[in-house]
Chain A
Amino acid sequence: MDSPLTLDPLFHLGPVPITEPVLVTWAILLLLALGTWLATRRLSLTPGKLQTVLELLVTTIDAQVRDTMQRDPARFRALIGTIFLFVLVANWSSLVPGVEPPTARLETDAALALIVFAATVWYGIAAQGLRGYLATFAEPSWVMIPLNLVEQITRTFSLIVRLFGNVMSGVFIIAIVLSLAGLLVPIPLMALDLLTGAVQAYIFAVLATVFIGAAVGEQTPANSVSSAAKETRP
Chain B
Amino acid sequence: MSFDWWTLGLQTVNVLVLLWILSHFLFRPVSEIIAQRQAAATDELSHARAARAEAEAALVEAQARDAAVAARRGELLFGAQTEAESAKRQMLEEARKEVAKLRTEAQAEAQRRHAEAQRALQNEAADLAVDIAGRLLERLPKATRTAGFIDGLAQAVAELPEQTRDGLASEAPVPVRAAQELSAEETALLKSRLAGVLGREIELTVTADPSLIAGLELDAPHAVVRNHFRADLDRIRQELLRHD
Binding between chains A and B: yes
Give chain A's interface residues, CB within 8 Å of chain B: 3, 5-7, 9, 16-19, 21-22, 25-26, 28-29, 32-33, 36-37, 39-40, 43-45, 47, 51, 54-55, 57-59, 62, 74, 77-79, 81-83, 85-86, 102, 105-108, 110-112, 114-115, 233-234
Q: A29-B14, A102-B11 are in contact. Are A55 and B33 (CB under 8 A)?
A: yes
The answer to whether A7 touches B4, judged by C-beta atoms less than 8 angstroms apart, is yes
Q: A6-B1, A45-B33, A115-B16 are in contact. Are A81 and B11 (CB under 8 A)?
A: no
Q: List 28 A-B contacts (CB under 8 A).
A: A6-B1, A7-B4, A16-B6, A19-B7, A21-B7, A22-B11, A22-B14, A25-B10, A25-B14, A29-B18, A29-B21, A36-B26, A37-B25, A40-B29, A40-B30, A43-B30, A45-B37, A45-B40, A77-B31, A78-B19, A82-B23, A85-B22, A86-B15, A110-B8, A111-B15, A112-B15, A114-B8, A233-B38
* Interface: B27 (CB within 8 A): yes
Minimum CB–CB distance from A22 to chain B (whole Å) comes to: 5
The answer, among B34, B40, B41, for a CB contact under 8 Å with A59, is B34
* Interface: B87 (CB within 8 A): no
Minimum CB–CB distance from A93 to chain B (whole Å) comes to: 14
* Interface: B2 (CB within 8 A): yes
The answer, among B2, B12, B30, for a CB contact under 8 Å with A7, is B2
Please list the 3 inter-chain residue pairs (A to B) with the smallest Cβ-Cβ separation, ordered nearest first. Answer: A111-B11, A78-B23, A107-B7
Residues in chain B near residue A16, CB distance under 8 A: 6, 10
The answer, among A17, A47, A57, A78, for a CB contact under 8 Å with B4, is A17
Interface of B is mostly: helix
The answer to whether B7 touches A54, judged by C-beta atoms less than 8 angstroms apart, is no
Residues in chain B near residue A26, CB distance under 8 A: 14
